[in-house]
C-alpha cells in the first residue's frame, strides 16, 4: 500500500484524462477572483486598491514564489498546485526580503525585492526551465470546480468578517486584537530593533511575522495598513493555505478528489455540534481576529510537505536549505506552530527506526533543524502571553460553558495549582460530568481526530507524522493552561493535518465513488437541519449533561438506522465505515460554511456596543490625521488607556486603537498585552488586562500632562522621551484648558484635540 501511494503521489495525475482546454480550465479560477473583487468592492474597498493589491499578489508573491518552489522542490506537474505551493513559498520569500530591509533600513527598496528574485530566473540559463510546468500531469477539470467551491467558501468567510469590522472612520468597536495587530503592522514599517507600539521604549517580543507581511504589502503598494489588515490580506492568505492543504491531500492519498475535500474541511470546517447549545473549544483554524494563526497555516503546510517528502524517501536536494529558515518563519508566524510538527516528526522517525533497525539520519537531521528553529524562535519572538503558559491538565474545561458555570465557577483567573479547584472538588458526580465533557469534545472534534484510528503497525511514516501532530496539539491544549485559553492554538495549528489524515483514511477505504458522496451529503444535511437544543434553565450538572447528550443520541440513532439499511442491502462493513467517515467530514464543512453565511447575512444588523465602549468616527478621524501628518518615528502621548474609554478602576488596558489607527508609537497607551502585565496575571485577583501599568511613574507623568498642563512635565516628555504629539480625548478624562497655551493645537475632531510640542525633531 505504501509503495502504491508513493507512486501515485510521484505521478500525481498519470491516470487522469488529458488536460482541459486552457480557457475552460480558467473559468472556475476567474469566478473566484470575480467573487473576491466584488465582495471587496461591496466592503468599501476602492477598485484601484483591489486591482493594485491583486497585481502585487501575482507579481510580488505568487510569481517569484512559484519559481523558487519549482527550483527547490520541483514542479507538481500541474499549474494550480505549483501556484499554491508557490504562493506559500512567496510568502516566505517576501518575509526574507522584508527582514533584510528592516535590518538595513532600506525599506524604500523593498519593491525591488520580488523583481530581483524574478530577474534571477530570467538571467540564469539553468533556472529558465522553471518558468514551465515540468512533466505535465494535469488534474481533471472537476478538481478545479471543487476547489472553486472551497475558495468561494473562503471568500464568504472573509466577507462575514468584513461585515462586522467596518473600515475606519466608523462608529464601532473593533476586537482589540485587530487594533493591536494594526499597531504592529505600522511598527514593522520601521527599522530594527522593534518596540512595543503602545509602550514606546519597550523591546517587542511577539510572533509578528504576519504583521511584517502586511507591512511589506502596504509599503510596496502604498495601500493604507488598515485596508490591508481589515480587507485585502486575510482572504488571499487563507486561500493559499487551502491550496497547500489540497495539494498535500492529493499527494498523500493519490486521489484527486481528496485535495479539495481536505483543504475545505481543514480550513473551513468546524467541530460537530448537531444542534448543541455550545461549540467545542477549538473552532476553525482560519481566524480573522488572529492574523498570526491564519498566516502560519500556509507556511506550516509547506514545511509539512517537505517533511513528508523526506519520510517517503525522496531526496530533498535544495529543500534542505529551505527547511531551517522556513521553520524559523513558522516560529515567527505563530509560536504554537512548530511544537506539534516536532512531536509528529519525532514519532515518525521512531517508527522508521523501529521498522528498519537503522537510525534515520535524514529524519533526525530535519528534526534537529526544527528544534533549533523552535528554540531560536522562542528567544526572538515568544513574549507576552507565551510566558504565561503553565501546566494544568484539563484546563481547557474552563473554556467550556457547562464546566465554567458549574464546577469551575470558583476557579479564578490563575492556575491555582496543578489541578484546578473545580476538578479537585468535583466528587463522583462531577467526575462523571468531566469525563462526559471530555468525551463530548472528542466526538465534536472527530473530523480532526478520526484519522488517528487508521494508524496501525504497517502505516507509512507520513501518516504517523500527521497523527503525531494532531495528538500532540490536542495533548498540549488539554495539558497546558493560559489565562486567555491560548493553549488551544497548539491544537488549531495541528488540526488541519488531522483532517488531512482523516481524508487519507477515507481515500484508502473508498472503492466506489458514490459511497463517500452519499456520506458527505448525508452529513451535511444533518448538520444543517438538526434541531437546536436550548441551554438548560439552571446551571446544574444533570441539565448540561442532558442537553449535550441529546444531539449525540439523535445522531447515533440516525447512524444506527443507516447501518441497518446498509447491512440489509448486504453491503460490507467497509461501506458503512467509508460513508460514516465521509458524513463526519461533510457535517464539519457544512457547519463552517453555514456559520459564515449566517454571519454575513446578519453581520450589519449586530447591536452597537454601549456608548462608553464605542469609538466614534470623530476619534478615528483624529487618529488617521495623525497617521498622515506625523513623522514615522514620532512618539505620541495620550490619555486613552482603557476599555471602556472613560477610565475606570480597574482599567481594562486593551484600548489599542490610538497606536493602531495613528500608526505611531505611544509613550503609554494600553499595557494589557505587555510582558509585565501578563506575568502579573492573578495578582490582586485580577486577570492580566486589569493589572496596573508596568511603569507607574511614566504613566503618572503622561496623565499629569493632560490634567495639570505643567510646563515642566511637558518639557520632560519632550527631552527625555522624545514625545512630539499629544492626543487628548475629552471622553477619556479631563483635559486642562491651559494645555493649548503650552502646546500648539493642530487638529480637532469631536472630543479629540491633537497638540504638537515645539522643539527639534
Quote the CA–CA distance of 78 and 89 in Å, as a whole number.
16
Q: Which among 554, 585, 602 is the end of a domain?
A: 602
* Grid-cell match 459511497, residue found: 515
Q: How many CA atoms lie within 13 A of 620 on its CB side?
A: 15
SS3 assignment, position 224 = coil
Is pLDDT above 50 for 5? no
Examine the fold and report which residue of 602, 622, 645 is the final residue of a domain before the chain moves on: 602
List CB contacts of 418: < 8 A, sequence separation 6 or more.
Answer: 391, 392, 393
Q: Is residue 180 located within the same domain as residue 169?
A: no
State mean pLDDT over 228-253: 97
Is position 184 within any domain?
yes
The yes-or-no verdict on residue 644 having pLDDT over 50 is: yes
For residue 595, give the H/E element and its range. Answer: helix 573-602
Instruction: Give Rg (Cα) of the chain.
Output: 27
pLDDT higher than 50, residue 12: no
- Beta carbons within 10 angstroms of residue 43's beta carbon: 18
Q: Which cell is 20 given? A: 482541459
List CB contacts of 704: < 8 A, sequence separation 6 or more.
Answer: 710, 713
629 with 595, same domain? Answer: no
Q: Are 331 and 370 in contact (CB under 8 A)?
A: no
**Residue percentage of the chain with pLDDT more than 70:** 95
In angstroms, the CA 719 to CA 706 distance is: 17
Regarding whether 739 and 671 lie in a shared domain, the answer is yes
Same domain, yes or no, for 570 and 649? no
> 3-class DSSP state for residue 666?
strand
**546-581: pLDDT as tens digits:** 999 999 999 999 988 888 887 776 667 778 889 999
Would you place residue 511 in the very low, low, confident or very high pLDDT band (cuts 50, 70, 90)? confident
pLDDT class for 262, splitting at 50, 70, 90?
Answer: very high
Q: What is the pLDDT of residue 7?
A: 36
Q: Which residues contact 437 (CB under 8 A, 6 or more apart)?
A: 397, 400, 402, 403, 548
Round to whole Å and give the CA distance between 379 and 206: 10
Please report whether residue 65 resides in a domain.
no
Contact 698, 668 (CB under 8 A): yes
- For residue 484, the tally of other CB atoms under 10 A from its CB is 15
Q: Which cell goes with 585?
A: 467530514
Query: What pLDDT score does 608 carry?
Result: 59
**Beta-carbon count within 10 A of 337 CB:** 30
Average pLDDT estimate for 177-182: 97
Residue 562, in any domain of the structure:
yes
DSSP state letter for 386: G
Cα dihedral 723, 725, 727, 728 sign: positive
Phi and psi angles of residue 728, each rounded to the nearest 5 degrees, phi first:
-100, 120
CB 678 within 8 A of CB 654: no
| Domain range for 683 | 174-209+609-761
Rounded Cα gap, residues 593 and 600, in angstroms? 11
Query: Which of 158, 211, 157 is closest to 183 using CA atoms?
Result: 211
Position 17 pLDDT exceeds 70? no
Q: Are residues 247 and 324 in the same domain?
A: yes
How far apart, in Å, are the Cα atoms of 444 and each of 197, 269, 450, 466, 653? 40, 12, 11, 19, 35
How many whole angstroms separate alpha carbon 386 and alpha carbon 281?
19
Rounded average pLDDT over 310-331: 95
CA–CA separation, 239 and 423 (whole Å) = 41
Instruction: Assess whether 530 and 632 both reside in one domain.
Output: no
Matching residue, cell 519597550: 202
pLDDT for the residue 11:
40
Q: How far apart are CA 259 and CA 243, in angstroms?
A: 8
Residues 583 and 720 in one domain: no
* Amino acid 517: pLDDT: 94
- In a 10 Å sphere around its CB, with 0-12 CB exposed, 13-18 middle and 19+ buried, how is residue 417 labelled? exposed
Omega of the bond leading into 169 within 30 degrees of 0 (cis): yes
Residues 6+ apart with CB under 8 A from 436: 545, 548, 549
How many other CB atoms are there within 10 angstroms of residue 601's CB atom? 11
In this prediction the pTM is: 0.94
Q: Is 488 helix (H, G, I), strand (E, B) or coil?
A: helix
Would residue 124 count as lying in a domain?
no
Rounded to 10 deg, the angle between the 514-529 and 573-602 helix axes is 40
Residue 8: is its pLDDT beyond 50?
A: no
User: For 34-52, how does the pLDDT look when each residue is reduced to its tens digit (9 = 90+)?
Assistant: 999 999 999 999 999 999 9
String of DSSP letters for 625-665: HHHHHS-TT-EEEES---SSSS--SS------HHHHHH-SE
Which of 76-90, 197-211, 219-233, 586-600 bottoms out in mean pLDDT, i.e. has the lowest? Answer: 586-600
Asked whether 497 and 459 are in contact (CB, 8 A), the reply is no
Whole-number pLDDT of residue 606: 52
| pLDDT reading at 245 higher than 80 | yes
**Residues 743, 749, 755: CA angle, nearest 5 degrees:** 10
Q: Which residues pair with 755 in a beta bridge?
A: 726, 745
When pLDDT is cut at 50, 70 and 90, the band that residue 597 belongs to is: confident
Residue 109 lies in a domain: no
**Does 234 have pLDDT greater than 70?**
yes
Residue 595: all three cell numbers together: 456559520
Q: How far apart are CA 501 and CA 505, in angstroms?
A: 6
Q: What is the pLDDT of residue 420?
A: 92
Q: What pLDDT, on the 0 to 100 scale, is given for residue 683?
A: 92
Return the percentage of the chain with pLDDT > 90, whole number.
Answer: 84
Which candidate, 150, 142, 155, 130, places its Cα nearest to that of 42? 155
Preceding omega of 133 cis (within 30 degrees of 0): no
Report if residue 459 sits inside a domain: yes
d(CA 758, CA 741): 12
| Widest distance between CA atoms in the chain | 91
One domain, residues 198 and 271: no
Q: Is residue 127 part of a domain?
A: no
Of 602, 629, 646, the domain-final residue: 602
∠95-283-525 over CA atoms, to 5°? 125
Tell me if 140 sits within 8 A of 256, measured CB to CB: yes
Nearest 5°: the CA angle 554, 492, 33 is 95
Looking at the fold, whether 669 and 569 belong to one and the same domain comes out as: no
Tell me which residue of 530, 519, 572, 577 sits closest to 261, measured CA to CA.
519
pLDDT confidence band for 211 (50 / 70 / 90): very high
Omega of the bond prior to 711 within 30 degrees of 0, cis?
A: no
**Spatial separation of the C-alpha atoms in residues 392 and 398, rounded to whole Å:** 11
Q: Are 662 and 627 in contact (CB under 8 A)?
A: yes
Beta bridge partners of residue 747, listed in sequence order: 754
Separation between Cα atoms, residue 84 and residue 634, nearest integer Å: 40
- pLDDT for position 567: 74
In a domain, 84, yes or no: no
pLDDT greater than 50 at residue 740:
yes
Beta strand pairing call for 390-391 and 635-638: unpaired
Work out the pLDDT band at 649, boundaries 50, 70, 90. confident
* Chain segment 81-121, per-residue pLDDT in tens: 999 999 999 999 999 999 999 999 999 999 999 999 999 99
Do 149 and 202 reside in the same domain of the chain? no
CA dist 677 → 383, 656, 660, 674 (Å): 11, 15, 20, 5
- The larger pLDDT score, comparing residue 12 to residue 615, is at 615
pLDDT band at 759 (very low <50, low <70, confident <90, very high): low
Shared-domain flag, residues 418 and 525: yes
Residues 701, 561 share a domain: no
- The conformational region for residue 682 under phi > 0 = left, psi -120 to 50 = alpha, else beta, is left
The number of domains in the chain is: 2
How many C-beta atoms surround the C-beta of residue 502 within 10 A?
Answer: 30
Amino acid at each position: 500500500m505504501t509503495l502504491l501511494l508513493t507512486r501515485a503521489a510521484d505521478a500525481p495525475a498519470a491516470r487522469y484524462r488529458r488536460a482541459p482546454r486552457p480557457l475552460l480550465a480558467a473559468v472556475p479560477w476567474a469566478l473566484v477572483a470575480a467573487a473576491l473583487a466584488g465582495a471587496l468592492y461591496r466592503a468599501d474597498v476602492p477598485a484601484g486598491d483591489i486591482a493594485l493589491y491583486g497585481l502585487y499578489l501575482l507579481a510580488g508573491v505568487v510569481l517569484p514564489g512559484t519559481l523558487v518552489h519549482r527550483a527547490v522542490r520541483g514542479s507538481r506537474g500541474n499549474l494550480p498546485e505549483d501556484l499554491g505551493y508557490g504562493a506559500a513559498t512567496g510568502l516566505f520569500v517576501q518575509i526574507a526580503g522584508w527582514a533584510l530591509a528592516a535590518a538595513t533600513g532600506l525599506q524604500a527598496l523593498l519593491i525591488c525585492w520580488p523583481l530581483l528574485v524574478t530577474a534571477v530566473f530570467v538571467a540564469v540559463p539553468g533556472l529558465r526551465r522553471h518558468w514551465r510546468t515540468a512533466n505535465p500531469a494535469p488534474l481533471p477539470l472537476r478538481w478545479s470546480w471543487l476547489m472553486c467551491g472551497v475558495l468561494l467558501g473562503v471568500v464568504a468567510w472573509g466577507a462575514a468578517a468584513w461585515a462586522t469590522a467596518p473600515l475606519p472612520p466608523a462608529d464601532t468597536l473593533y476586537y482589540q486584537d485587530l487594533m493591536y495587530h494594526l499597531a504592529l503592522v505600522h511598527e514593522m514599517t520601521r527599522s530594527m530593533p522593534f518596540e512595543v507600539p503602545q509602550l514606546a521604549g519597550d523591546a517587542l517580543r511577539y510572533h509578528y511575522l504576519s504583521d511584517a507581511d502586511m507591512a511589506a504589502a502596504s509599503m510596496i503598494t502604498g495601500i493604507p495598513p488598515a485596508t490591508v489588515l481589515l480587507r485585502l490580506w486575510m482572504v488571499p492568505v487563507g486561500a493559499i493555505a487551502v491550496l497547500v492543504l489540497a495539494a498535500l491531500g492529493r499527494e498523500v492519498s493519490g486521489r484527486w478528489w481528496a485535495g479539495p475535500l481536505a483543504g475545505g474541511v481543514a480550513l473551513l470546517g468546524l467541530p460537530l455540534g448537531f444542534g448543541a447549545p455550545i461549540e467545542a473549544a477549538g473552532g476553525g483554524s482560519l481566524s480573522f481576529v488572529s492574523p498570526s494563526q491564519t498566516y502560519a497555516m500556509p507556511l506550516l503546510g509547506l514545511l509539512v510537505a517537505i517533511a513528508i517528502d523526506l519520510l517517503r524517501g525522496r531526496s530533498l536536494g535544495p529543500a534542505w536549505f529551505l527547511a531551517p529558515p522556513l521553520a524559523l518563519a513558522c516560529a515567527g508566524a505563530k509560536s504554537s506552530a512548530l511544537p506539534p510538527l516536532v512531536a509528529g516528526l519525532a514519532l515518525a522517525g521512531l517508527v522508521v527506526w523501529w521498522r528498519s533497525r537503522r537510525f534515520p539520519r535524514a529524519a533526525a537531521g530535519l528534526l534537529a533543524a526544527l528544534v533549533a528553529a523552535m528554540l531560536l524562535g522562542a528567544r526572538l519572538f515568544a513574549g507576552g502571553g507565551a510566558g504565561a503558559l503553565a501546566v494544568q491538565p484539563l484546563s481547557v474545561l474552563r473554556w467550556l460553558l457547562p464546566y465554567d458555570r458549574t464546577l469551575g465557577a470558583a476557579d479564578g483567573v490563575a492556575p491555582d495549582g496543578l489541578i484546578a479547584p473545580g476538578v479537585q472538588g468535583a466528587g463522583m458526580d462531577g467526575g462523571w460530568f468531566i469525563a462526559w465533557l471530555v468525551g463530548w469534545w472528542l466526538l465534536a472534534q472527530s473530523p480532526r481526530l478520526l484519522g488517528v484510528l487508521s494508524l496501525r503497525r504497517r502505516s507509512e511514516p507520513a501518516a504517523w507524522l500527521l497523527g503525531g501532530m494532531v495528538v500532540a496539539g490536542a495533548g498540549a491544549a488539554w495539558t497546558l493552561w493560559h489565562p486567555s485559553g491560548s493553549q488551544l492554538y497548539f491544537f488549531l495549528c495541528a488540526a488541519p493535518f488531522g483532517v488531512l489524515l482523516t481524508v487519507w483514511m477515507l481515500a484508502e477505504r473508498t472503492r466506489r465513488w458514490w459511497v463517500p458522496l452519499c456520506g458527505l451529503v448525508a452529513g451535511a444535511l444533518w448538520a444543517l437541519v438538526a434541531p437546536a437544543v436550548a441551554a438548560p434553565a439552571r446551571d446544574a450538572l444533570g441539565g448540561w449533561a442532558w442537553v449535550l447528550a441529546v444531539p449525540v443520541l439523535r445522531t447515533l440513532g440516525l447512524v444506527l438506522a443507516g447501518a441497518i439499511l446498509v447491512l440489509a442491502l448486504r453491503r460490507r462493513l467497509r461501506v458503512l465505515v467509508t460513508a460514516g467517515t465521509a458524513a463526519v467530514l461533510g457535517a464539519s464543512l457544512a457547519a463552517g460554511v453555514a456559520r459564515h453565511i449566517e454571519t454575513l447575512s446578519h453581520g450589519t444588523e449586530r447591536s452597537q456596543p454601549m456608548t462608553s465602549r464605542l469609538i466614534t468616527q470623530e476619534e478615528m478621524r483624529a487618529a488617521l490625521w495623525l497617521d498622515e501628518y506625523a513623522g514615522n518615528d514620532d512618539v505620541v502621548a495620550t490619555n486613552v488607556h482603557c476599555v471602556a474609554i472613560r477610565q475606570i478602576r480597574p482599567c481594562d488596558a486593551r484600548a489599542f486603537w490610538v497606536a493602531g489607527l495613528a500608526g505611531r508609537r505611544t509613550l503609554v497607551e494600553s499595557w494589557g498585552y505587555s510582558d509585565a502585565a501578563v506575568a502579573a496575571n492573578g495578582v490582586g485577583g485580577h486577570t492580566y488586562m486589569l493589572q496596573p501599568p508596568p511603569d507607574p511613574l511614566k504613566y503618572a507623568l503622561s496623565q499629569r500632562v493632560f490634567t495639570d498642563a505643567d510646563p515642566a512635565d511637558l518639557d520632560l516628555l519632550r527631552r527625555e522621551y522624545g514625545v512630539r504629539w499629544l492626543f487628548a480625548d475629552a471622553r477619556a478624562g479631563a483635559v486642562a484648558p491651559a494645555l493649548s497655551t503650552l502646546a500648539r493645537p493642530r487638529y480637532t475632531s469631536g472630543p479629540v484635540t491633537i497638540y504638537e510640542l515645539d522643539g527639534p525633531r
